[in-house]
Amino acid sequence: MKLFIKFDFNAVCRQVLKETLDLLDIKYNILGFGEVEILEKLSPDKYEALNKSLNKYNIEIVENQKSILVQKIKDTIIDMILNDETKVTIKTSAYLANTLGHSYGYLSNLFSEVTYTSIENFIILQKIEYTKQLIIKGNLSLTEIAFKLNYSSVAHLSTQFKNTTGITPSAFQRIITKRRQIQQTTN
């Protein structure tokens, strides 16, 4: 049996953090996506237990200052793409610089140095992943998805989708539809 699951990535991560921190009896305050304030001094043993528990979910504690800023860049981009309330009407470069308090040139160079890819490529990958989720949900047309993700046209979205995945969004939609039909006939 195959199940199709939709989920809110932010909510899942927040819940994993809450459960892990509560289980270890650590006092905390979740500040935002990817940022937790620990309200007590952690012993080395407790810190290691927390790190081990989070690693089970492929969540790691970032300790290097450059890596922390890169994670903040990633979190800001993901939040910008996923969150309708933060609908950006200014350029992404200006949004990142304003939000993170550094020049875009610095953020861009740092991101490339740490991740070996550009901010632009990361944004495209995140938009395409979100496009896949929206297609799977099935309640928006490609035109609506393109508009939601600030693409200039459906053609632009389709080109980036095909360059990233190897297939067009329409072909992806057909695959999802076919899988659902097969699933329904086998149940």
So what's the pLDDT on residue 84? 63
What residues does each domain of the chain span? 1-61, 122-186
Phi–psi pair at 140, nearest 5 degrees = -125, 145
Q: Is the separation of the CB atoms in 75 and 62 below 8 Å? A: no
pTM more than 0.75:
no
Percent of the chain clearing pLDDT 70 (strictly above): 95
Q: Which two tokens stand for residue 94?
A: 């200006």
Tens-place pLDDT, residues 100-109: 999 999 999 9
CB under 8 Å, gap of 24 or more: what pairs does 4-9 form?
4/136, 4/180, 4/183, 6/133, 6/136, 6/137, 9/78, 9/82
For 112-136, the DSSP string reads HHHHSS-HHHHHHHHHHHHHHHHHH
Question: What's the mean pLDDT when you consider all of the chain?
Answer: 87
Measure the CA–CA gap between 106 and 6, rounded to whole angstroms.
36
**pLDDT confidence of residue 142:** 92
Q: What is the mean predicted confidence (pLDDT) over 34-55?
A: 87
Per-residue pLDDT of 121-180, as tens digits, reads: 999 999 999 999 999 988 889 999 998 888 989 999 999 999 999 999 999 999 988 888
Distances (CA, A) of 82 to 62, 93, 150, 187: 23, 17, 12, 33
For residue 27, give the nearest of 41, 16, 45, 14 by alpha carbon: 41
CATH class of the domain comprising 122-186: mainly alpha
**Helix 44-55 × helix 9-23 angle, to 10°:** 150
Look at residue 65 and tell me whether its pLDDT is greater than 90.
Answer: no
pLDDT at 33 exceeding the cut of 60: yes
Collect all residues with Cβ–Cβ distance below 8 Å to 3 and sequence separation of at least 6. Answer: none
Between CA 9 and CA 11 the distance in angstroms is: 6
* Count of alpha carbons within 13 angstroms of residue 112, beta-carbon side: 9
